[in-house]
Amino acid sequence: MIYFNSDYLEGAHSAIMERMMETNMMQTVGYSCDEICDSARAKVRAACNAPEADVHFLVGGTQTNTTVIAALLRPWQGVVSAVSGHINCHETGAIESTGHKVIALPTPDGKLTAKQVKDYVEWQKNDESEEHIVQPGMVYISHPTETGMLYSKAELTEIFNTCREYGLPLYIDGARLGYGLTADGNDLSLPEIAQLCDVFYIGGTKVGALFGEAVVIMNEKYKKDFRFMIKQRGGMLAKGRLLGIQFDTLFTDDLYTKIARNANDMAYQIRDIFVSNGYLLLFDSPTNQQYPIISDEELAILGKNFGYEYWERVDETHSGVRFCGSWATTQEQVDALREAVNALKK
C-alpha cells in the first residue's frame, strides 16, 4: 500500500533524525531554554527578517491555536474565523474550552475577506444590543486554508489593514505554511507574512518534523508572559531541545522550503494524473492537497493499493477525495499512482 491520505504519515526528514541521534546524549536544561533552541529561534527570526520577533516552540497545532488565541483575547471577546477554519471544525471545541466563541463567518472557499471582517465588526459595534453580543477580539486565518487555498499579498494586506483599523490582532495558522510559501502562483514571502500579521506559526508537524510548531510573535503587545501561557496550556515540553533541534535543522540551508516544494511538485503531478485522464476536481487547490472526483467503482479498485482521504459525496456514484503530496512523497510513489490511474482508463 502507498498512502496519500495526509502529510503526516511518516516520521521526520532524515536530517532531523540524524541531528536527534547526534544530540541524544547531550545534557541540556529543559523547557526550551537550551542553546539549540536559542539557535533555532535565531534562525527562524532571520528567515522571517524579524530580528525583534519572539519565537516559541510548541508541540502541535491545536495546542498552538488554543494557546495563542486564549492569550490574545479578553474574556468577553471571540475570534473571527471562516466557518471551515480548523479551530471551528476540527479541534473538539478547544477554543471554546478556553472560554471564547469562534465567530464563524461563511466563505465559499475557506478564505475570509477584509470586507467580511469589516462588515461584521461594524455590525456588532453598531447594534443596539452591542454589549449582548460577543465582541470580535481577533481574526484567525489559515494560510494555506484547510483545503490548501492561498491568500494573495493584496488580500492579506487588506485583511491586515482592516484588522489594524479596528485594533484586532491578526493571527495566521501556518500548519502548512511551507506548502503555501512554495506553491506556484504564491506571491507572499515569509518576511512579508511576518509583516502582515501580529502572530503566526510555522508548521513543523506537517512539513517534515516529528512534531512542533514555531510561534512567531511580531506585535510587541503580545510578547509579555507568553511562556506562562504555554506552560499553563500544557505546551511546554520538558525536553524542549527536541523542538529546537527540529526547527534548527529545518531552517538550516533552506531545508523547510526545499522539502515543502517537493510536496507541491508531487501534488501537481498527482493533479495532472487525474486531470489528464479526464477527472474533474472538487476545486482547484494550488498546494499539496488535491481533490479529484472519482467514481466509487474506481475508488474501490484504487483503494486496494493506494490510501486517500474521503472528502465528500458528489453524486450517487462519485466522491471527492483528497490525495496529499508531502515532504516525504517520492517520485516512485507518484509513478505507481500514475500507472494505476492510467490503467483505470484503458
Query: Restricting to residues 241-300, which ones interact with its own copies according to CB under 8 A?
Result: 242
CB 227 within 8 A of CB 240: no
Nearest to 59, CA basis, from 239, 252, 250, 181: 239
Least separation in angstroms between residue 260's CB and its own copies is: 17
Name every residue whose Cβ is closer than 8 Å to that of residue 32 and which is 6 or more positions away in sequence.
56, 57, 236, 237, 240, 241, 243, 244
142 binds its own copies (CB under 8 A): no
303 binds its own copies (CB under 8 A): no
Member of 42, 133, 314, 344 binding its own copies (CB under 8 A): 133
Burial-class residue 293 by CB neighbours within 10 Å (0-12, 13-18, 19+). middle
328 binds its own copies (CB under 8 A): yes
CB 56 within 8 A of CB 32: yes
Please identify, among the stretches 18-26, 149-157, 184-192, 265-273, the one whose residues bind its own copies according to the rule CB under 8 A: 18-26
Query: Restricting to residues 39-98, which ones interact with its own copies according to CB under 8 A?
Result: 59-63, 66-67, 70-71, 74-76, 78, 89-94, 96-98
Member of 225, 315, 316, 332 binding its own copies (CB under 8 A): 225
**Residue 315: how many other CB atoms lie within 10 Å:** 9
User: CA-CA distance, 300 to 302, in Å (whole number)?
Assistant: 6
Q: Which is nearer to its own copies, 99 or 191 (CB)?
A: 99
H/E segment holding residue 306: strand 306-307
Q: Which is nearer to its own copies, 160 or 323 (CB)?
A: 323
Q: Which is nearer to its own copies, 76 or 119 (CB)?
A: 76
Q: Which is nearer to its own copies, 211 or 251 (CB)?
A: 211
Least separation in angstroms between residue 275's CB and its own copies is: 25
Least separation in angstroms between residue 131's CB and its own copies is: 5
Between vectors from CA 84 to CA 93 and to CA 103, what angle results, nearest 5°?
Answer: 60
User: CA-CA distance, 22 to 36, in Å (whole number)?
Assistant: 13
Query: Restricting to residues 181-220, which ones interact with its own copies according to CB under 8 A?
Result: 205-206, 210-211
Q: Which is nearer to its own copies, 58 or 218 (CB)?
A: 58
User: CA-CA distance, 58 to 235, in Å (whole number)?
Assistant: 6
123 binds its own copies (CB under 8 A): no
Please identify, among the stretches 17-25, 139-147, 289-297, 336-344, the one whose residues bind its own copies according to the rule CB under 8 A: 17-25
Crossing angle of helices 331-344/255-276, nearest 10°?
A: 10
Least separation in angstroms between residue 172's CB and its own copies is: 19
Question: 147-165: buried (b, 16+ CB within 10 Å) or exposed (e) per residue?
Answer: bbbbbeeebbbbbbebbee
Least separation in angstroms between residue 155's CB and its own copies is: 27
